[in-house]
Amino acid sequence: MSLDDDERRRLAEAVRRACLEAAEAAYEQGGFSGLCAQGRWELALDAMRSTPLDTIVTPSSSTARKPD
């Protein structure tokens, strides 16, 4: 199954948005937990790495959707 340019762009934007939202939330939570800047950054990176892609891509249509 092939994606057209618009579908690829929407998918890429959805993945980027999900990663940024996860990173921002983790960085903020790290601050509340008293982590230093480096610890907060590591927490944010881990959040991006563990962002579940199956919540972004619908298997039936292979198009991007906004995560819940």
8-51 tens-digit pLDDT: 999 999 999 999 999 999 999 999 999 999 999 999 999 999 99
Is pLDDT at 67 greater than 80 in this prediction?
A: no
Q: What is the pTM of this model?
A: 0.74
38-65: buried (b, 16+ CB within 10 Å) or exposed (e) per residue?
eebeebbeebeeebeeeebbeeeeeebe
Place of tokens 């991006």: 48
Could you tell me the two tokens for 12?
A: 């890429």
pLDDT of residue 58: 65
Cα torsion 7, 12, 13, 14: sign:
positive
- pLDDT at res. 65: 53
